[in-house]
Amino acid sequence: MSSRTRSWLNRGILALAGLGLTALLAACGGGGDSAGGTGTLRMSMTDAPACGYDHVWIDVQTLRINQSATAGAADAGWASIPVNTRIDLLTLNNGILQTLGEIPLQTGKYQQLRLVLGNNNSIVPSGGTETPLTVPSGMQSGIKLNADITIAANQMADFVLDFNACKSIVKAGASGKYLLKPVIAVTPNYLSGVRGYVDASLVQPTTTVSVEQAGVVVRSTVPLNTGEFVLPVAPGTYDLVITSAGHVTAVVTGVVVSTATVTTVSSAGAAINPPTSAMGTAAGTVSTPTSPIDATVDATQALSSGDTIDVAGGPVDADTGAYTYALPTGAPVVAPYVAATPTTLNFIADGAAAGQYALVAASGGTVKPAVPITVAAGATTTTNFTFP
């Protein structure tokens, strides 16, 4: 593993031992604005799983930082971290961080980042060959990212670019091209999170483990070869959602994450292993008045407990607007998280939710009302959307 790559879990253990307290306070905004002086910004990169790809290479040249949220690329006030590194995003799951660099900065609030990429970007579709990844010409001055970073005197602000490759890569089927539509969040390097294990049978590329709130995916990953998964997130309450081809969806509700604490939901000896299931298909097209087509479709599921979970989703084909998702027809299994006994989850099948989904399409800031569908084994349910 590269010396520029850090393990979030190992670093979190050190911080909890007292070695990273200053960085933690700064990353979470502790200390506020200072009257003067300098502090340090450390930046890293991580990734969510990329659906259907073996490698996603991005050519990171420079990371630029500015206090102004509206500063143009040629305006004053920019500070730069030279990176000059080609990164495979798919090596950055389960809390692995790629260090981008550090820079001393004047104290104050910084509201804009620009990620400048070079020309050597490419992807490898699962089982395919390396193909160029096209970066739109409008991003030559850098991918603009909103930020909320406070630099305090003599402190380290530790932040992460969370690059969601799954939602950032858009296939243009008719042309054979792959386009980059960056979905990147700027977050503190949290020392809290969720960890656990899935059964060895679920260690495969089609398995995704995510933590969600109100049906919105906050962080996601794929399990390691051991079945272990690690998801760094802010303190809060989450639903843990596990999806895998040929299995029903498993959900652990009400997982509580406390400050500077890693919540364990399952152990290697009691790994999560949802039952097998037949699969059905949700498919269709999205039409928009603009080209290329810039839209997403997500398949959500309402549980009897009142929780909503996101089971599948991503961008549609940029040329045709097509999307297709394989969804389990069997009932999801649901267990409430119990802090005192995290390795004895009591999963119960939610029969009322079996095969029942809702499709949500979004484009240009507009979200269509959810369309309920029922999927059946071996069958395709077609749902088309038109914007505006």
**Per-residue model confidence (pLDDT) at position 358:** 98
Q: Of 133, 114, 113, 115, which Cα lies nearest the Cα of 123?
A: 133
**Per-residue model confidence (pLDDT) at position 13:** 41
Taking 3-state DSSP, the helix, strand and coil percentages for the chain, each rounded to the nearest 5, stand at 10, 50, 40
Using only C-alpha atoms, what is the Rg of the chain? 21
Contact 156, 43 (CB under 8 A): no
Query: Per-10-residue mean pLDDT for the chain, 388 residues long?
Result: 51 40 38 67 89 91 97 95 95 92 97 96 92 84 95 96 91 86 93 95 93 95 94 96 97 96 93 97 96 95 97 95 97 91 82 98 96 98 97
Would the CA dihedral through 139, 145, 146, 149 be positive or negative?
Answer: negative
**Per-residue model confidence (pLDDT) at position 8:** 58
Q: CA-to-CA distance for 271 and 274, rounded, in angstroms?
A: 10
Please, how many CA atoms are within 13 Å of residue 106, restricted to the half-sphere of its CB?
A: 7
The single residue listed with the structure tokens 């500077």 is: 260
Domain assignments of the chain as residue spans, ordered by start: 5-188, 193-383
Q: What is the side-by-side order of every strand in the sheet holding 5-7?
A: 5-7, 96-106, 38-48, 156-164, 184-188
Measured torsion, CA atoms of residues 92, 96, 99, 100, in degrees rounded to the nearest 10: 30
Q: What is the CATH number of domain 193-383?
A: 2.60.40.1120
Q: How many CB atoms lie within 10 A of CB 203?
A: 16
Q: CA-to-CA distance for 294 and 315, rounded, in angstroms?
A: 7
**Per-residue model confidence (pLDDT) at position 31:** 38
Q: CA-to-CA distance for 138 and 365, rounded, in angstroms?
A: 19
The structure tokens listed for 98 are 């790629």
SS3 25: helix
pTM of the model: 0.88
**Per-residue model confidence (pLDDT) at position 35:** 54
